Amino acid sequence: MIPDWLGALFGVPRARTDWRFIRNSLRRCERMPLYRTLAGSVVVCRSDYARRALIDSESVLEHLPAFWQFPNGAPIPEPACAELNRWVHHSLDRHDAAEAAEIAVSRIAASSGDLHRACLLAVTESAGSILRTDVDHALRALVRSYVGELFHTVVVGTRRREHELRARALARKVAPLLAAHRDALPGVLAEDGALSGAERGELYLRAVTAFVGASAVAMAWLICALSEDDLAEVDLSGAARERIEQGPPGPVAMELLRLWPPAWQHRRRVLRDHAIGPLTALRDDDLVIPVVALHRHPAEWANPRVFDPDRWRTDPRPAAFMPFALGPRACVGGRYEIRWLTEVAGHVPTLKSLRLARLSKKPCVTAVFSPPRCEIAPG
Ligand code: HEM
């Protein structure tokens, strides 16, 4: 099964979810941290059970790749998957998070219009040296069009069939450009072999979404948090705002990922019946870890709805914090993301100077959890 927050990227149908769904799950998890839904999901909102489940030392869950799949949702061969993850890992290890953050922030500062699109495009520019869009203008144009016009619809929940078809067509145009970058891109993307041209194009665009998607959403939450008084049921008036503006950037980044985690639930299919505390998860159930609810659960956090960077001084590794999942298929970009978001949070004065007009009060809940739609006024 495809991880929920990414699965919709290329049109795999998902159960309908929205902000009301998350709010209901928050309330329910507060009353009952472990329960089974009528639809056959086992919901686990307790850090000890959730960690054990994701680490899965008894191999009772299915762990399919999050990004590296064929358009029909089938996973690509494991060696290709490993090569792609190694490339991501090495690229991020060498990538300068401070410089990347500076590029993203300067782009945002010069943007106007839809906030989500502006963040996606700003982060795309900051990943240019990895994606090769900094040296290849044709590739850059295609990637910008993919991110700004098509991937944007996934993030804000307006994706239609026509967008999927356009994404496929765009992937076919991308594929022939990749061979020129065989020195910098992994072989599996640059040359026909394990994968055909069209598949390589698709996969390259998935890599783009890996480098860009969740980071852009995290930046959008920060920008909104600097101008909203109430953001997805977190009170940001008065002292809370000061804590964002004046708090040390590292703990501010952690609080952003805690209260507004872009990957709002982790989902795995159950392969074998097994016990989770008093419940039995049955083969073919979905095991769901509702990350937003876990990150705000009163049994796991003191004053969970308060934006409090200080809590990270008392406990730098809270067991209930899992924005990047854990275990097999955990995020390979997590460590980099924290460095990058910390750098972005160091640019509060610039980000705060953006003037936002809110178009909705409700966060966008699609494959990712992102802030309500708003517009940046021209500077
Ligand atoms: C706020 C930022 C990010 C969040 C919240 C996030 C979250 C996640 C999560 C939850 C997963 C596991 C999905 C699952 O199996 O259920 C994942 C996988 C992955 N992430 Fe991230 N991620 C972030 C940033 C990044 C960045 C910057 C990269 C860089 C390319 C990245 C690359 C990947 C890759 C390649 C995988 C798939 C690993 C595999 O299938 O073996 N992520 N991410």
- Taking only the tens place, the pLDDT of each residue in 4-19 is 445 444 333 345 689 9
pLDDT, residue 374, reads 97
Per-residue pLDDT tens digits for 57-115: 999 999 999 889 876 777 788 899 999 999 999 999 999 999 999 999 999 999 999 99
Mean pLDDT of the chain: 93
Return the best residue to mutate from 324, 336, 340, 341 for the ligand 1 pocket (most ligand atoms within 8 A of CB). 324
Name the helix (H) or strand (E) containing 107. Answer: helix 97-109
- Which range, of 62-76, 224-238, 239-253, averages the lowest pLDDT? 62-76
Q: Cβ distance 265 to 42 under 8 Å?
A: no
**Hey, what amino acid is at 297?**
H
Closest ligand 1 atom number to CA of residue 262: 5
The backbone torsions φ and ψ at residue 265, rounded to the nearest 5 degrees and listed phi first, read -150, 145
Which range has the top average pLDDT, 10-19, 160-169, 190-199, 256-265?
Answer: 256-265
219 CA to centre of own chain? 11
- Cα separation values, 88 from 110, 118, 149, 171, 337, Å: 28, 24, 24, 20, 12
pLDDT, residue 16, reads 61
Nearest CA to ligand 1 atom 17: 331
Q: Cβ distance 223 to 119 under 8 Å?
A: yes
Q: Which of 199, 192, 150 is nearest to 171 (CA)?
A: 199
Q: Is 70 exceeded by the pLDDT of residue 219?
A: yes
pLDDT (average), residues 276-292: 97
Compute the distance from residue 312 Cα to the ligand 1 centre, in Å: 22
pLDDT, residue 1, reads 39
**Hey, what amino acid is at 25?**
S
pLDDT, residue 13, reads 38
Task: Domains for the chain: give ranges and CATH numbers.
Answer: 4-370 (1.10.630.10)
**Burial environment of residue 9 by CB neighbours within 10 A (0 to 12, 13 to 18, 19 or more):** buried
Alpha helix ranges (H) inside 263-374:
291-295, 311-314, 334-345, 348-352
Distance separating alpha carbons of residues 103 and 81, to the nearest angstrom: 29
Closest ligand 1 atom number to CA of residue 207: 30
Q: Is 80 exceeded by the pLDDT of residue 216?
A: yes
pLDDT, residue 17, reads 82
pLDDT, residue 15, reads 52
pLDDT, residue 211, reads 97
Kindly list the protein residues whose Cβ atom lies closer than 6 A to any atom of ligand 1: 3, 65-68, 85, 88, 92, 210-211, 214-215, 218, 262-263, 266, 323-325, 329-333, 336-337
Closest ligand 1 atom number to CA of residue 291: 10
Q: Cβ distance 285 to 41 under 8 Å?
A: yes
Per-residue pLDDT tens digits for 23-59: 999 999 999 999 999 888 999 999 999 999 999 999 9
pLDDT (average), residues 126-153: 98
Compute the distance from residue 97 Cα to the ligand 1 centre, in Å: 17
Nearest CA to ligand 1 atom 26: 333
